[in-house]
Structure 1
Amino acid sequence: MSGRAWRVSWLDLLLAAAVSLTGVVESYGRAGTGWERVSEPALLSAGAIAAGGMLVLRRRYPLAMLLALTAMSALLWAVADDGYPYVAWQTYSTLILVHTVGSAAPLRSWYGIAGLAGTLLAYGRMQTLPDSDFAERMITAVFIGVAYTSGILLRRQTERTLRLAEQNARLELEQAERDRRVVADERARIARELHDVITHNVSLMTLQAGGIRVLLGKDRTRDRERDLLRAVERSGRETVEELRLMLGVLRDPDHPDGPLLPSGLDRLGELAQQVGQAGLRVDVRVEGEPRALRPAVDLSAYRVAQEALTNVLKHARATRAEVTVEYAADRLLVRVTDDGTGPASTVDASTVDGHGLVGMRERTAMHGGSLDAGPGPDGGYRVVATFPLSHAAA
């Protein structure tokens, strides 16, 4: 037993006080001479108090305290004039210490083997007490066996509980690390898409500035305007080049030449057809008056619907799904429901491609929105993403 792992508990103090007090009461209550009387109550009271002290140290030195109690019992018998009769505190103390020895170490270890030997020695000492017949020996053996076995079971249960606690802590750390990686991957994916959107818009602005410059012709009175437009073109080209240098490394290595313009809500019909070819019927509904959205919001809303449908297809065991896009005065709402019977992990963070509930929440949070996912009121699963439109309108 490690000294750093030991500390006196209230249970230890309570057991020590109970053994010491009952020992003193028993010694003086049976004081006298004759059959089953205590001729030297002070001596046995001192033994009971010493046994209580051993119980205080039982967690720190379980085997040593059991051997000390056995030796003290033999010493009291030798010192007492006429020996001493059966005393209850000795039995109680022995059973408590045997239980502690059984819980101290595995039987296959050297300490466990020594503890078993100490237990047998303590049992043998108890059989030398006066008036110990066969029935009493068997009863004592049963109590000693139960105390020792209960100690072993307690130790195993404690070790199992500690292992489960360590395993749960490890799983929580692994889950947190997985969530961190999902967020990092999703942010990198968003950065790649923003790179495409910004590069496209800046390139378009540069081309438009060049077109206006050409329309001005060669009129000498418009030299200043042409110089300003050339500066706009030059700044636009430099900005595009810097964006490619800074964000181009984040592009998907599997699709380096992908389309410049990413998808948006206007392509939900194509997405429904693609998912339908895989065996899942998808209905798309639009509520409210559609309006132009910022490309980043449009893309994020589409990605949420795409990820939700992908997860329904892979995990929900559904036959039908519905995508609802609701344009309200101050928000955009994307709702994906299904009639599946699969597990609630339909949008779990561990889904394929590393994106799931964590990734969708990251996309909505980026625009100040929120994501709600869980079982639907009529069964199946429901994912609801809300995007504020106060600053998102085109």
Structure 2
Amino acid sequence: MTAEAEVSRPDLAALTGVRSGKGSYYRAYVRSDERLQRAVRAMDTISRGVVRTIEGPRGLLEQVVAAAAAHLDAEWALLALADGKLLGARPRFLALEQGGVPLDDDAELPGSVHRELGAIRAGLAVRSRDDSRWVRVPMMLDGQAIGCLAGFHGLAAGPEPGDLAVLRILANQAAVALHTSEEYQVGLTMRRRAQQLYDQATAQARDLENRTSELHAAERRLVLASQRELVDAERHRIARELHDSVTQYVLSAGMAVEVARGEAEALAQGSIQERLRVAKGLTQEAVDQLRRAIYALHRAHSDTLSPLPDLLREVAEHHRPQLDVQVRVCGTVTVLPSDADHEIARAVGEALFNAALHARASRAVVRLSYRPDRLLVTVADDGVGDPAELGRRLRLERGRPTDGRHRGLVNIESRITDLGGAIAFRRARIGGVRVEMRVPLPLPPGRPAVIERLVEPLETEAAR
């Protein structure tokens, strides 16, 4: 054979990885091919396990144990963590019998497998005896052994370095999966704890909100009680002044009228006597009105201020001896400051007084309508009043000096305009006049408060 033929002859050792000087190299080639095929199958098994990681780490670990068992032709394959390593990882071990299903319960393991599991848990990375069929390779993570992958092999010639390399690859894949499992368990624990803290914070926020509402309600009750105390004190003061001064003057005027009537009768002045008789009647009616006002000012009240509908019913009750008054409420009642409620109630009382005294009405309807942007209060009567005449009188009263006489319409208007509202006079459906009082909602800021106006005279008198 020539040199060129020697050079062109194929090198079987280079192709198969088997070197032999005899014709028996084929058996070695077959064993090498079988090992290669087992390694490929093991890699294929682990690749299928990797794509199942979305199901959790257990699927990958089961694939690792199955691949190790198939590669070693093992009766049993075992994957376990050492005690104290990756405490949050689950499962802590998996054992697989040939043709069986993975187990993670110590009680289901035979004695030899249980002893091997104990050795791995104790931290023994490799076996000390060479005559055993157990093959053990460590699982490494960050340069430290955290457990082992072991198998009770059924190979005829025993595992070779290439087999151990495949097992180490499988073991390291299992180590990464177990580390991921621990991180997942830690994250799950933290998530549960965060959810618990969130639930506790939410419950505390609700509790604080309830307590804040209770505190605000208590604060409102205290403010109302303070306002009630001031209002009651002022009511009693006004009642004393009415009783001690105004009522006495009216009684004195009545007595003077009565004396003048006697003198007119003696002089046979019939027209003057009739006028004096009318004056006497008006004086007596004024005295009755003053006594009713004094009685109302001295009446005991509840601990909290009444809402506007109740105040209007109370005002209507005061006028019922002379006037049949009905109170109607429409819409959802909006809570207003107590001074605003009293201003509106006093304006309604003034309108009812005018209807009874000047319009000679026998019936009146008070309607309270709550709307989203305003409050509409109307007082309609069946008297003889004229809306145009009332508008003219209001314009005249605005220009008169403040002497306290004939200023009922101006008083109504001033109470409503202080709240940012306006009044109007229209013809009522029941025949008389309808006084309309429109108040915007919410009330504008910076209004003069009735409590301030009530307290101011007391401070002025104290200053004197």
Where relative contact order (Cα < 8 A, 6+ residues apart) is larger, the structure is 1
Q: Which is richer in helix? A: 1
Q: TM-score, normalised by structure 2?
A: 0.29
Radius of gyration: which is bigger? 2
